[in-house]
Each structure stands twice: as structure tokens, then as C-alpha cells.
Structure 1
């Protein structure tokens, strides 16, 4: 059964190609949405870029006919800019003020009432990434939904980077004898990805187990190459942390992604691995540490001082971890150490567009607050001989229109899980303190 989809402004600003995601249904863009997009087109960040993309797309469609009459899309859908569904009476009775959101709601409600008066079975659906708009629609008796077409995977199917297999004890014995296992010989129903970790456990219930990693070509299960020795004073406290260090210290894996709750050790492990590779092994020329300053693309702000002083409040979590690794005693010691080394750079993501970053160990913290486009912008800056680590907690998102599924970090994890050049681990156990773990679990 065909439907009428009324699109909120935030859907188009989130994905300029959203009009092609509704198959052969009718897509309505309220006139007020065009006004809101017009107000964003001069912004220098991703919102501005998307606003301009939507404007160019709609302008190109004018060659096919009048937008207010409807344009037939390649997928069979009909795109229309509304001009005659502005009656605000019903919505005003419920919510009073004539805000832009309420005007969009009025358009959707009027379309729905019109179809019901015709006796049609066609239902109108308001599509918005704004939770409160969807709640208001429900109050008005309208169907409303989030924009889900850009989601890479469902919440229950997120790739964790490792799997636990219960096997006959003879399989574990075979691994310890020959130091490898053939993936084909296990005859698994599940798919294993390159650089995925496997925990073998005895199906008989004994304590016999083994920790392995899928080879980069995906045909063998191999032992971990690294011992559990300390890395810049940091030792893995659980199996997932050991897996993370294996990926972080492997020079053949240029892209590593780490996810997990606060306190699981993501930042500390990445910094320790980066310092080892840069300062001790000299594999990379520089350690570049960056994190978003709220949304990427915004200015640093009107904080006093030079760039380093402006950045300090945003980058303090990074400095806290560096102070722990360098075991500094006094305030300000870490600044002197970093100045003396010269090979460690703490930076904002604000101005990364256009840069090329070769021969560096790059750490991007709080990557869950990045959109898919921003992650693409960052990873496409990586030059020859560089390694990049993206990490964050998909459950702690500050971006108003991203969630645990649609953010850039989750997107890159899912897109790269089948590539031999990448590896991923989800850290589960908090190691900061018992209180921090309880807070992460209960609050």
C-alpha cells in the first residue's frame, strides 16, 4: 500500500539524498522546510554543505517540471513541494504557537485528513529525526517515524570484533599443537571476518580455552603475536584489552576502531600504543591526537589565548591520560614534556579538511559524535604510512540527530569489518574503578 511521506528539515540536512529512499511512494517537502534549508546554506560546517546539496538537487529537478505539481523520480516515487496545505487550525488547537515544527506537523495532518475524507487507504507518515516532533505527531494521531534508511545495521547486529566458539576439546588441542587452525575445517555456520578474534571454549565445560585471531586473508586462525607485556606501563587487564593492543600494535592494520563504555580503557590503550610506536620504535614520525570540538566544523570559540590555550578545555581528557602515562607529579609538567618531545600533537578536528597526514599515528577520540561524512573526511586525510585509530562510546552521543546506529563511528565499523586493512574491538569491562563501572551500568 502506497504512503505519503512528509519530510522534516532535519532529514534532508542529515541526508540530502533522502528523497530517493522511499521507493515509489509520494514524498512531500513542506514550503517551510525550504525556508529552513535556505537559512542554513551559508554555514561553513556539514549542515551548510548538506543544505547547499539539497538546494542544488531540487534546482536540477526543476528541469523535469514544476515541483509544486510533482516530479516523478527514477524509483517511481513522486516528489512534491507543498504550497496549499498550510491550514494551522487543528494543530493550533493542540499546541498553540505557530513554530516551524508545528507548521510541518500541520502539513502532514492536513494531508492525512484529506486522504481520510476521500475514503482512501493511503496513510500519511511524518519522517523526522526530532524525537519531540514525532511525539507531537503521535498526539495528533499521525504516524511518525525516524529516518532509518542510512542505518548500516540494526542495534542487535552490531559487529563486536570477536566471537566465542564452543568446540570439542580436541580442536583446542590441535591449535596448541600446530599453532593454527583452518577456518574451513571448523565448518562454521557463521561468517568470520579478517582480523576478528576468536575465543575457543571447551564444549565439555572444562576450563580449557584458546585466544586466536583470523588471518588477514580470512582462511586461518592464528595465535596472537604479542605477549601480555606492559606497553608504556599499561598491561591488558582483560581479554578485550589484549585484543585491542594486538590491533593497535600491528603495523599491517592501518585502521583500528575501538568502542566501549566510559572507563573501558580505549583512550589509555591507544595513547600507550601510539607512544610506543612513535617514541620507542620510531615507526611513525608523529603522534596526532584529535577530538571533535562539539560538532566538527565549528570555530573553537572566543576563549582567551593562543590556539593551544583555546583547545585545552576541550582536550583535557587527553592530557589527563598523558599525565598518567608520563607519571607527572606537578601541574604543567605534561606541557613541558610535550614541548620537549615535539613529536606529540594535540589538535582539534575543526580544520582537518584539506590536510594530508602521512607517516603519523593518528588517534581520533569521541568519534561517535561524528557523522558519516565527517568520518569519511577524516579517514580520507590519512596519508601513506599512517595508522588511524577511531574510538568512542556509541551510547554517549551529544549530536542532536545521531544515535547509536547512525553515527559515523558505527558506520565505519560496519563498512570496514570485511577489510583486511582494518580491525575492531568492543571493550566491555570497565577498568577505571568499581564506581565508574557501576555508573556506566546503572546510570
Structure 2
């Protein structure tokens, strides 16, 4: 019997096209291969084609795609010999379903009301990875507010310039504009404009001619269109947020400008030491005197909670009233205070009546403290203490050249209209507190920093003292503060709770060499619209300046005006 002819090519390099596989019975056992080293491609194809179906129960998470299998076979055939790695025994294959982008899955769509942009011009870039949507009515209201020299008009113009820069670099508004185009790296979302009319299903009772209702209509249309995203209205208007919630729409206040969520957490500038303070901090105390002040270096677990220029007090068998001067880990340096409650240490005839007033007077008379903030309710003595310290340092010690007083002209009731006269004459109706305190400081025979005679010379001496004092006190308006620089001035900012953080920055940065800035206010009496206790400029500076070696803060607690005023503050 003649032998078969030898193959023209070696079996190790046979192509798949040359293979003619006959259909086999999958239930019959396989015969062992005669080749000791079969080709890996042939082995893989035979394994897939001849694998019994009943051997393994298919898993729900495994999907066999024939197209992907054919693509894998083509890749296998193109790889050189020895490049195919066998899968280890017992390993399983998991096919993950296609998922959405993680950024788009969690991104919210914030619809901004006009008052948010007018309140904070940089609010566009404060939403981190989330997207921002501006309705057409928001742009229309921005256009109405851009004229004028007020703070609102300036904010409107700043927002318009930012939008113009963003739009100028990108032409396709449908895809959105990247918010990080102006250097705001934290804003990774996109800005979208309303480019088409949106049909909304608002109740017929809401007139669509009103701007707020048109914005609500846009929010409803976006809510119905993007069902997989959370659409949130951001507005400073409480009534608009209430209307949005009654329509089952998400609405939030603008919280980015909030310094604190609770005003009770605001830094008070004081810390009451516990009863066991000396037991834990009394060992190894170092003390020395310098310039009439006694210093103590203490160590203990409470020292890391101290802040520079913070007042600490301990009222017990070994009382302590001190100011923190240095903090280093668990070690702190405390300095004793000057007792301004004693008559010999009076300042322009005024003495401190309680512990907090004594702390405040130490800050006001400290030449190394450039910024002082005093908080307190009406009648706690903020203006009187500040003015007395200013007169003493201007007229007696000559530390400052003059006193400058300014405040926000926000009326409590109806405005009285335009006033005639110069800048100081226009500001006089707002400076009633100044007149009242000057009357207190100059009413005594030996008060006011000068000796006033009796009889007919009493009125003359008092008039001369008042003229001298008024010549060193200037009343300025906030509207003319830009571009100015104050040298060696004693600058008092009254009613600072009505200032925005941006206005506060504008005022404090006017200070030149040798100038001391004092901010007075009560965050419970805010008259400026859209400002709250957490977003007030006074709260802002108290939180940002705490711990700075040349700044101090005290919250006055006890009213000293009269028993009637104290009782009215409690029960009314």
C-alpha cells in the first residue's frame, strides 16, 4: 500500500483557511491528538467549537459576542508564535456593562437667579464640577441693572464682562462653555445659555409676564427635559424659593458667601479657662516683666486652642486676665492686661464697666494692633469706647493725626430724600451716634481732656473743646473711598454689619502706614437686602482676621446704657 504524500508546508504554520473541519459528534469523547505540540490557535478554536454546552451553567453577567470573538481570532492570527498567553486555570471572565461618565452622572444643573449674580459677581465660578444655566430673563434683568454707580450696577457690569470673555472664546453655545476658561481651576463644569424658547407647564394663576415666573418656567422645562439630572434653582429671594418648592422644584439659597452656618459659632475673641486650669498648666510656669507688662509662658493641653491676641480669663481663687501673645504647639505666652476699670487708667474720662469693655479698651489702646472689630448689641458701649480711645490718641498722645468716621447710609424706615450741602453736611443725619457720644465725652467739668472753669467761662470752655474735637473728626461717605489712602488716621467704620465682604475689603485696603481701623456693628441688625448674619462683611472680617498678630476682636455681652434699655433688649 503506497504511503500518503507529505504536506507541502509544515503543520506548525498551517493557516486557518487550509483547515477543513468536519462536523463531529459533540457527545463522543475526543481522540487524543497525534501531535505532541499542537498549534495554540487550533487548540483555542477546538476548545470553543467542541466545548459541551451542558458542562457549565451560563452566568447572567457573561455575554458572548460573536463579533468580538472573530475580532479576537483575527488578532490572534496576526501575532507571532509564542505571543499567546494561556489563561490560568480557574479564572473567570467578567464583562462590565457600559457605564456613563462619572462626571456627568453626579453633575447638577444650577439655574441662577439674577440676584445671585448681583450679590456675588463671581458666583458663576463657585459651583465646582456642576453645570450652570442662565435663562434669558436673567440676562435681561442684568441689562436693566448695569447703569449707575451703585454697588449693584458695578456687579452687573462685572458679570457682563465675564460672560463676554467666556462667549468670545467659544462660538458653539449649545455644547456649553467651560467655566475654567478665565483661570478658575476649581470650576470644572460648563455654562449653558437659554438659546431657544422653552414651553413650561406652570399653573395658570402665575402670570408669565413677571420675570420670576418666567425663570420658574425655565426651571420646570429643564426639569422635564433632563429627567436624569437634578435641576436646582439658586436664588437669594425667599419668596421665589417658596414658589419653586410649591411647584415641586428644587430651590436653594446661595451659600458660597456664607462664612458660618450658625452665628453662635462666630469667634468671640475670648476664652473662659476651666476650673482645673492651674492643675494642668501650673507646672513649670516661666514669668518675666517687660515694659510694665508681666508675661507668663505656660504649657499644657489647652494651649493649642489659643489664638494670638485672644483674651483668656480665669475667675477663681487665683484670677487671671491675660492676652495670648504667642502660640507654639502646647506652649503659649500670656501677657497681663492694663486695668481700664480703675479710675486712674481712664481714657478721656471713660472707664470700662465690665470685663468685655476692659478687653476692648486694651485692643483700642494697643499701638501694635492695626485692626480691631467690636461686636455687640445696642448699648454695650462700642461707639463710646472707640471714640474715647480715638480722642485720647489723637489729641493727647498725638499718635494719629485725625479721626475718620464712615458708615453705610441704609435707612431704617423711609428715606428722607436728597440732602443739600457738602459731603459732611449730607452725612450729619447719619451721625447721630457720633453727636450723642461727643456730648457724653464733653459734658463734665474735668472731662473731655481739658479743664473747664465754672460760671460764665463754663460754656466758653465747653464750646472751645467741642470746636477742637470737631476739627479733628472727619465724617466721610463710602461712595468716595475708592482710590484714597489714609496715613496715620484713626478710621472708624460704624454699622459695619450692613457692608458686603467686597465693600469691607475696599475700606480696609484704604489703610496706609500708621492707620488703625476699627469695625463696629451688631450682626442682629442687618438692613441691607440679601445680607444675613453668615454673609455679612463684618462676620467675614472677624473670621478672616482671627489669629493675626496685629488684629483683635471682642464681642461685648453686657449692655451699659440704662436699666430700661437692658430690660427692653431682653423682653422686646
2:260 aligned with 1:153:
yes
Aligned to 2:173: 67
CA contact (8 A) 2:340 2:361 kept: no
Q: What's the CA shift for 1:144?
A: 1.4
Q: What's the CA shift for 1:106?
A: 1.8
Q: What's the CA shift for 1:207?
A: 5.0
Question: Structure 1 unaligned runs (5+)?
Answer: none
Please state whether the residue corresponding to 1:90 is helix, strand or coil: coil
Q: Deviations over 1:39-68 (max 9, x none)?
A: 222221221221111111111111123335
2:253 aligned with 1:143:
no
Q: What's the CA shift for 1:85?
A: 5.3
Aligned to 1:411: 540
Rounded to whole Å, the distance in 1 between the matches of 2:211 and 2:472 is 50
Deviates more, 1:24-33 or 1:167-176: 167-176
Aligned to 1:20: 125
Aligned to 1:377: 506
Rounded to whole Å, the distance in 2 between the matches of 1:262 and 1:23 is 40
Rounded to whole Å, the distance in 2 between the matches of 1:175 and 1:265 is 36
Rounded to whole Å, the distance in 2 between the matches of 1:5 and 1:36 is 18
Alignment of 1:11-410 (within 5 A): 11-62=116-167, 63-74=169-180, 75-84=187-196, 86-87=198-199, 89-93=201-205, 95-96=206-207, 98-115=209-226, 118=227, 120=228, 122-155=229-262, 156-166=264-274, 167-170=276-279, 171=281, 179-182=294-297, 185-188=299-302, 191-201=305-315, 206-215=316-325, 219-228=332-341, 229-294=345-410, 302-327=418-443, 337-341=465-469, 342-410=471-539
Q: What's the CA shift for 1:304?
A: 3.0
Q: What's the CA shift for 1:334?
A: 8.6
CA contact (8 A) 1:292 1:350 kept: no
Rounded to whole Å, the distance in 2 between the matches of 1:393 and 1:97 is 40
Q: What's the CA shift for 1:92?
A: 4.2
Please state whether the residue corresponding to 1:288 is helix, strand or coil: strand
Q: Deviations over 1:123-146 (max 9, x none)?
A: 221111112211221222222111
Please state whether the residue corresponding to 2:486 is helix, strand or coil: coil
Q: What's the CA shift for 1:416?
A: 0.9
TM-score normalised over the length of structure 2? 0.70
CA contact (8 A) 2:407 2:495 kept: yes
Aligned residues: 430
Change (3 A) 1:176 1:439: farther
CA contact (8 A) 1:254 1:386 kept: yes
| Alignment RMSD (CA, Å) | 2.8
Q: What's the CA shift for 1:406?
A: 0.7
Q: What's the CA shift for 1:398?
A: 0.8
CA contact (8 A) 1:288 1:344 kept: yes
CA contact (8 A) 1:198 1:211 kept: yes
CA contact (8 A) 2:442 2:466 kept: no
Change (3 A) 1:338 1:129: farther
Rounded to whole Å, the distance in 2 between the matches of 1:315 and 1:138 is 43
Q: Deviations over 1:79-136 (max 9, x none)?
A: 111233544551543x336321222222112212333xx4x2x222111111221122
Deviates more, 1:19-28 or 1:106-115: 106-115
User: Higher relative contact order at CA 8 Å, sep ≥6: structure 1 or structure 2?
Assistant: 1
Rounded to whole Å, the distance in 2 between the matches of 1:438 and 1:68 is 62
Q: What's the CA shift for 1:151?
A: 2.1
Rounded to whole Å, the distance in 2 between the matches of 1:172 and 1:432 is 39
Q: What's the CA shift for 1:265?
A: 1.0
Rounded to whole Å, the distance in 2 between the matches of 1:126 and 1:335 is 60
Higher Cα Rg: structure 1 or 2? 2
Rounded to whole Å, the distance in 1 between the matches of 2:431 and 2:193 is 44
Q: What's the CA shift for 1:177?
A: 7.1
Change (3 A) 1:38 1:145: same
CA contact (8 A) 2:286 2:296 kept: no
Rounded to whole Å, the distance in 1 between the matches of 2:568 and 2:198 is 48
Rounded to whole Å, the distance in 1 between the matches of 2:188 and 2:421 is 57
Rounded to whole Å, the distance in 2 between the matches of 1:181 and 1:423 is 20
Question: Structure 2 unaligned runs (5+)?
Answer: 1-105, 181-186, 289-293, 446-457
Change (3 A) 1:261 1:67: farther
Q: Deviations over 1:133-186 (max 9, x none)?
A: 112212222221111112223324211111112134455798797644335x12
Change (3 A) 1:142 1:436: farther
CA contact (8 A) 1:293 1:350 kept: no
Rounded to whole Å, the distance in 1 between the matches of 2:417 and 2:506 is 22
Deviates more, 1:186-195 or 1:367-376: 186-195
